[in-house]
Amino acid sequence: MTALLGLIFARDRPADLGLAPCGDDGAPAPAGNPFAISVKALITASGSLTFWVLAFTFFVCGVSSLGLMPHFVTLCGDFGIGPIVSTSLLDLIGTIGSGWLSDRYDNRWLLAWYYYGLRGLALIWLSYSGFSMVGLSLFAVFYGLDFIARGPPSVRLTAKALGREQAPVVFGWIFAAHQLGAGVMAFAAGASRDVLASYLPAFLAAGLLCLPSTPIASHRAGSPRPDAAGPPRQPCLLQPPTRRAAPPSPPPSTSDATRRAP
């Protein structure tokens, strides 16, 4: 039934309903070879300190999230906690709440103090919590609130610093640093378990790595490029996008007005 309703009522593009894309400022979409566009965006972004700040903090994000999560259930199992309980400790609405906050508050401070600061403290706390019910509940609250929630503020900071036209492609390169960090920590956490018979050193190291990311992310991330601000964005969530207005008709010429005169 849901699939049938989607086929009948859902549309792929705003243009199918005569609407402008949300946030469209009339800039032409990049055209050409996708690989060349991607490499050119990387070369341009590499000259920006904001790019490297976001890439480093996303590396730390990968280290402290997806790099640890494959081992989290096994870690809890070492302390006698079943898989159903351990998987319920991760939050599923963090990204939605992060988008709401990103539209209303300074993205630099959200990214630095709220996301990286809380995540680092939560991981450090987990290492000393004893895996009691109270300790795990506190970990779930502070770690779960920002789990996979860095996307919205990071995208907005990228667009603010490097321009909306390049932001999607540049953010793809930034996210590559996230995957690199996740791969490094996934290996390191497994090695910690094999060598030290515990995952906790890896979780503690990830928490400590989050803490220096807090002042780094707040220092320069989001410094706008002079030509990156652009016109104000359409308030997508507060009111529906407006339909494209028809171009005004040209005024009648003097000869037309003369012919119409009695």
What is the rounded CA–CA span in Å between residue 257 and residue 259?
A: 6
| Higher pLDDT among residues 89 and 56, named by residue | 56
pLDDT tens column, 74-114:
898 888 888 877 776 655 555 556 666 667 776 666 666 66
Interatomic CA distance for residues 60 and 182, integer angstroms: 8
The neighbour count for residue 94, using CB atoms within 10 Å, is: 19
State yes or no: pLDDT of 145 exceeds 70.
no
DSSP state of 82: -
What tokens does 126 get? 């987990």
Q: Can you tell me the distance from the alpha carbon of 207 to that of 227, in angstroms, rounded to the nearest whole number? A: 37
What's the pLDDT band for 203 if we cut at 50, 70, 90? very high
Q: How far apart are CA 159 and CA 153, in angstroms?
A: 10
Question: What is the arithmetic mean of pLDDT over 39-63?
Answer: 87
The pLDDT value given to residue 210: 85
229 pLDDT above the threshold of 50:
no
Read off the pLDDT band of 240 (50, 70, 90).
Answer: very low
- Measure CA 210 to chain center: 17
**Side chain identity at 118, as an amino acid letter?**
L
- What average pLDDT does this structure show over 138-159? 71
Residue for token pair 């000869």: 255
Q: Are 218 and 157 in contact (CB under 8 A)?
A: no
- Tell me phi and psi for residue 133, to 5 degrees: -60, -40
At residue 243, the 3 state secondary structure works out as strand
Say if CB 107 and CB 153 are below 8 A apart. yes
Mean pLDDT of 227-242: 45
* Chain-centroid distance, C-alpha 119: 15
Q: Residue 172: is its pLDDT beyond 70?
A: yes
Integer-rounded Cα Rg, in Å, for the chain is 24
Residue 194: CB atoms within 10 A of its CB come to: 8
Structural domains in the chain, sorted by start: 35-220 (1.20.1250.20)
Other Cβ atoms closer than 10 A to 205: 19
Instruction: Among 37-51, 82-96, 213-227, name the one with the lowest average pLDDT.
Output: 213-227
In order of 12, 105, 123, 163, the CA distances from 168 in angstroms are: 19, 21, 30, 10
Instruction: Report d(CA 143, CA 120) in Å as an integer.
Output: 8
DSSP letter, residue 95: H
Higher per-residue pLDDT: 15 or 79: 79
Mean pLDDT of 235-243: 46
| Residue 6, both tokens | 């989607």
